[in-house]
Structure 1
Amino acid sequence: MSGPLYLLKTRRFAPLFGTQFLGAFNDNLYKNTLAVLLTFQAAEWTSISSALLAPLIGAVFIAPFFLFSGLSGEIADRLDKARLARIVKVWEMIMMIVAAAGFANHSFTTLLMVVFGMGMHSTLFGPIKYSIIPQHMKENELIGANALIESGTFGAILLGTIAGGALAAIPNGGVIASLCALVVAVVGYLFSRYIPSAPPPSREEPFAFGFWKHTTDAIALAYRDRLVFLAILAISWFWLYGALLLSQFPSLVKDLLMGSEGTVTWILALFTLGIGIGSVLCERLSHHRVRYTLVVAGAVGMAVAGVDFALGIGTFEPDGILSQNPHFWRIVADVTLLGIFGGLYSVPLYALLQERSAPEARSRIIAANNILNALFMVLGAVATMAILSMGYSIAWLFGIVALATALVGSIIYKVRREK
């Protein structure tokens, strides 16, 4: 077969892809609708400062990853993953019904509970989607399947963000967005009905409930294999970098480029398109095998594009129409390249995680990955606030992260050579 797109025609992959895509879309549709409404109508909803609302929503959404990832991985290693996927989609439908009621009653507490509930949705589904892939894919299809999941996830994030912003701008936008998300969740549930059964391997040890025990056990499992743990840390760095870019694009466009909301959307679209191109390119270049050279090349590419991006925004001067400014196109090219090299970097790491993880522990290792991804994103947000509060510019921030990415690439190269 030429390329991984044929997987979208198979029952062993297409229903999982559809379920994942629509779930990621809904997460971002709801979060962005709420964020926009609270940004422009904060006084009608809560007494909390509008400046604190965005980080509060992000913190509430990410909290379940710390609290329940270990438990969700343990459950996914013990039960049929296809059945669990359907249960998660039912939970998503319930959350969207509650969200509609929260928007209709202007209940900030209810809406914040739904943010937590959607975080739970992603926490529960994460170990399922990545650990089910090697159960239904052949070994030479892992790269292609992960390329499609990766590009589809970022596409869903972009579309959900755009849809949320658009719906928030119309009367009763919150209620309408929730009802639209409910329809999407129902369609996602129908997709999940067609995911083939994925029974767990036999496990002898008894189930013991405990939040922190499951969390520490999952991380300990991942740590046993040095290469697996390195892959998790490398993936977590990718999410730190990506979250930093996505969070800073709006203020960068508004305050530095003097652009509009449409410019933000366009730049986000190019970054997302870059991720998709890089993911598919990785599948083409890998020849169906995990190639560490692609990871290193992706890290170096992100570092070079990131440094040029930092230099570009550091020297940018608004001059008339944005689209006629040649320095603007330099920035656009760098953002696209960051996405392309990001896809090249991340896809082999996910395939490595699936390939080297024991089947009976795979979901828990994926859960460990989710925990550390969340931790890195939080640390990245804290570091961002610290760097900017010390008076450094956003260009310095991006430059520091780009140089650190080069260091990550060199560590991966060194460890692989030792192997």
Structure 2
Amino acid sequence: MLLTKRFFPYFSTQCLGALNDNIYKNVLLLMVTYTQVNDLPMSVNLFVNLAAGVFILPFFLFSAHAGMVADNMDKAKLIRRLKQFEVVIMSCAAMAILSQSYLMMLLLLFLTGSQSAYFGPVKYSLLPQALAEDELVTGNAWVEMGTFLSILVGTLSAGLIVASEHNLVTAAVSVFVLSICGYLSSRAIPAMPPLGVVKKIRFEPLSGTWRSIAKVRQTPTIWMAILAISWFWFLGATYLTQFPNFAKLHLHADATVVSLLLALFSIGIAIGSYICERFSFGHVELGLLPFGVLGLTVFGVDLLWTIPPAPIDVSYIYSIGSFIDASQHYGVMFALFMVGVSGGLFIVPLYAFIQSRAKKEECAQAIAANNIVNALFMVCSALLSMVLLEGLNWTITELFLLLALLNSVVALYVYSQVPEFTQRFISYLLSHVFYRVTVEGRAKLPKEGAAVIVCNHVSYVDALIIMGASTRPIRFVMDKSISEIPLLKYLFRHAGVIPICSPRQCQNTYNSAFDQIHQALQNDELVCIFPEGRLTPDGLLGEFKPGIDKILARDTVPVIPMALNGLWGSYFSHKDGHALSTRPKRFWSKVTVKIDDAVAGTVERQLLRAKVEVLQSE
């Protein structure tokens, strides 16, 4: 996938853009900070903070409009226009650098931020259009790896450029040449026409911003994913901002060690993104999120525990060489690296989740809303740091400890608001820790629209296994007695399980189940039923009850045959006694989920049973 025409030109373009942005921004800040600047009408500290605000302001002003533009025009054409704009900006920036016109460079930094604000929505909304669903996580992993490594290389390169003999010429040539390379790369991106009806776009900076946020809040799962991503940027911005003082005050190190810390953090995120891609097994996998959350807290605290004592000679300052040579620093380096790895595990599934759940014709607008909230959280991170460090005289280590603890609080809040995240985690553990689940025919599940899944019923965890096979939420019709099992009751209730029983047991429950099924199908949801009506007592497929006929008579929707193989004999099945009553005998056994092509809703239930039986016996 990486080297395909539908991905590599885009990947190269976005990496070159991130690299150029960071070289230009950091060259400006370093030139102002470390050279004698006599023509500034303000203090250096004020200029540096103003530069940070000037770069982030466009994300508040223009992201909503950028999302609308990206959803309503060819994405490849939009990227090329943005890269042409970048060439113009960087041509002016090169002249401003050579003339050392710092106020002009500040204005151009605002334009650079504006270009980035327009590039952000198209950068992520292009992926679900260019890639297959099973490539989405891989694509996002590459994007995150490329972005953070470009930020790292750009930041380090800026330091080398400013320290060089011909720094002005080198900086000017670098930003101009990179912009040209980015534009040339964008010309190879294939056409990506808009997916919906093209709408008239109005430029409304403030009202459009609030309207964009209000729109994504109508979908709670996407909104919670945006809040989680924004929290990561809150954490990341705080860490990156405090690295220099952390290295100076607590590690007794010079500026070269700050570069090492930045490298460890950025490479960690890149490695975490790669791990996420490897362990997502080809689909959007929210089950990895808790590992990222746990790592951010555990290694965030561990970072503070591993800070070594001050050197005996308090005037001694570690350089990068002596810092690495001293073994007492390995714990700090490992903890910081693992914070980055945890961040990569955390952020990649969330971006892929937004892309997979947002309406295709509105994906860029969802990403735009995400960028707005990201920017807001980064501003809040700066404000919190100023209040705690300057106003309340906290230490940086106390600030880092607060971040680690707050991370757990934020995670608990998000998981309480979106139970699907918890369900996906448990499904992931079942599928890849307790069992070795493989899915055959995942692409046969419809990407949208109503459908009924019919499957054999082997164990109490069938629903959780099937849940992990689909990137779309599934409503399960389940025997009332199973849906009320104490250990699983909470999960099933929040998964929208539809309890059912025979009309002899409770007529109201029976009637309500079919009404809920009808409503779910009318809402274009996936509904899974186990037509046998009970767990198999012998491992064989039982007769299908007439309930499936009643469902299809009311809603003639496509039916997807599915079969579970390998769960018979597990702790959750009825083999050798009632499920959950015997000692577990198997661990990490192989389970297969087989999915067949959809058939018309007019199919007879005996034919459906035959199809499931064939899948089960293969």
- 2:127 pairs with 1:112: no
What amino acid is aligned across from residue 377 of structure 1 in structure 2?
Answer: M
For 1:399, give the aligned amino acid. L
Q: Distance in 1 between matches of 2:148 and 2:282?
A: 22
* Aligned residue number for residue 405 of structure 1: 407
Question: Quick one: distance in 2 between partners of 1:349 and 1:33?
Answer: 32
Indicate whether 1:357 and 2:358 are aligned.
yes
Instruction: Say which structure, 1 or 2, has more relative contact order (CA 8 Å, 6+ apart).
Output: 1
In the TM superposition, what is the alpha-carbon distance from 1:304 to its structure 2 partner? 0.6
The 5 A counterparts of 1:14-413 are 14-41=8-35, 43-203=37-197, 205-313=199-307, 316-319=309-312, 321-389=322-390, 390-413=392-415
Contact 2:94/2:175 (8 A) holds in 1: no
Q: Decide whether aligned partners of structure 1 residues 286 and 41 sit closer, same or farther in structure 2, where only a CA change above 3 A counts.
A: same
**Residues 67 and 364 of structure 2 are in contact (CA less than 8 Å); yes or no, is this contact kept in structure 1?**
yes
Displacement of 1:205: 4.8
Alignment partners' CA distance in 2, 1:151 and 1:158 = 11
Aligned partners of 2:9 and 2:185 also within 8 Å: yes
Tell me how far apart the structure 1 counterparts of residues 210 and 43 of structure 2 sit (CA, whole Å).
36
**Residues in 2 aligned to 1:181 and 1:204: alpha-carbon distance in whole angstroms:** 35
- In the aligned structure 2, how far is the partner of 1:45 from the partner of 1:153? 34
Unaligned runs of 5+ in 2: 317-321, 423-493, 496-618
CA distance, structure 1, for counterparts of residue 49 and residue 328 of structure 2: 31
- Which structure shows the higher strand fraction? 2
Q: Which blocks of at least 5 consecutive residues in structure 1 are unaligned?
A: 1-6
**Contact 1:311 1:395 (C-alpha < 8 Å) held by counterparts:** no
Superposed CA RMSD:
1.6
Higher-Rg structure is 2
Distance 1:261 1:77, change over 3 A: same
Q: 1:172 offset after TM fit, Å? A: 4.8
Distance in 2 between residues matched to 1:301 and 1:130, nearest whole Å: 25
Deviation track 1:331-372 (CA, whole Å, cap 9, x = no partner) reads 101110001110000000000010000011111110000000
In the TM superposition, what whole-angstrom CA distance separates every residue of 1:150-170 from its partner, at most 9, and x where no partner exists?
011000000000111111123
Distance 2:201 2:153 in 1: 39
| Distance across 2 between alignment mates of 1:184 and 1:375 | 29
Separation in 2, partners of 1:367, 1:174: 35
179-188 or 284-293: which moved more?
284-293
* Alpha-carbon separation, structure 1, partners of 2:39 and 2:147: 31
Range with greater deviation from structure 2 (255-264 or 385-394): 255-264
Cα separation, 2, equivalents of 1:184 and 1:149: 18
Quote the offset at 1:45 in angstroms. Answer: 4.0
* CA 22–107 in structure 1, closer or farther in 2 if over 3 Å, else same: same
What is the distance in 2 between the residues matched to 1:185 and 1:74?
A: 25
In structure 1, distance between residues paired with 2:70 and 2:61: 16
1: CA distance, partners of 2:118 / 2:352:
20
Displacement of 1:204 in angstroms is 6.2
Q: CA deviation at 1:40?
A: 1.5
- Deviation, structure 1 residue 258: 2.1
User: Which amino acid is 1:222 matched to?
Assistant: V
Shift of 1:308: 1.3
Cα distance change of structure 1 residues 120 and 175 upon mapping to structure 2, 3 Å threshold:
farther
Percent same amino acid among aligned pairs? 40
| TM superposition score normalised by structure 1 | 0.94
Shift of 1:325: 3.9
1:59 CA displacement? 0.4
Asked whether the equivalents of residues 252 and 310 of structure 2 are also in contact (C-alpha less than 8 Å), the reply is no
Distance 1:205 1:99 in 2: 35
Give the Cα separation in 1 of the matches to 2:63 and 2:254: 38
Maintained 8 Å contact 1:23/1:185: yes
Q: Matched residue of 1:79: which SS?
A: coil
| d(CA) in 2 for partners of 1:208, 1:276 | 38
SS at match of 1:8: coil
Q: Is the 8 A contact 1:97 1:179 kept in 2?
A: no
The alpha-carbon deviation at position 41 of structure 1 amounts to: 2.3
**Counterpart Cα distance in 1 of 2:17 and 2:309:** 38
Normalised TM-score (structure 2):
0.65
Measure, in 2, the Cα distance between the counterparts of 1:243 and 1:398. 12
State the 1:292 CA deviation: 2.2
CA-CA distance at 1:296 after TM superposition: 1.6
- Measured after TM superposition, the shift of residue 324 of structure 1 is 4.6
What CA distance in whole angstroms lies between the structure 1 residues aligned with 2:172 and 2:231?
A: 32
Instruction: Identify if the C-alpha distance between structure 1 residues 105 and 229 changes in structure 2 by more than 3 Å, giving closer, same or farther.
Output: same
- What letter is aligned with 1:215? T
Distance (Å, rounded) in 2 between the aligned partners of 1:267 and 1:184:
26
- Partner residue, 1:3: none
Displacement after TM superposition at 1:29 (Å): 0.1
CA distance in 2, matches of 1:351, 1:42: 46
Which stretch of structure 1 is more off in the superposition, 287-296 or 389-398?
Answer: 287-296
* Distance in 2, Cα, partners of 1:260 & 1:346: 31
- Please say if residues 19 and 191 of structure 1, whose CA atoms lie closer than 8 Å, have aligned partners that are also in contact: yes
State the AA in 2 paired with 1:145.
G
Structure 1 CA distance for aligned equivalents of residues 112 and 414 of structure 2: 34
Amino acid at match of 2:410: V
Cα offsets for 1:347-404 (capped at 9, x unmatched): 0000001000001111111000000000000000110111101111000000001111
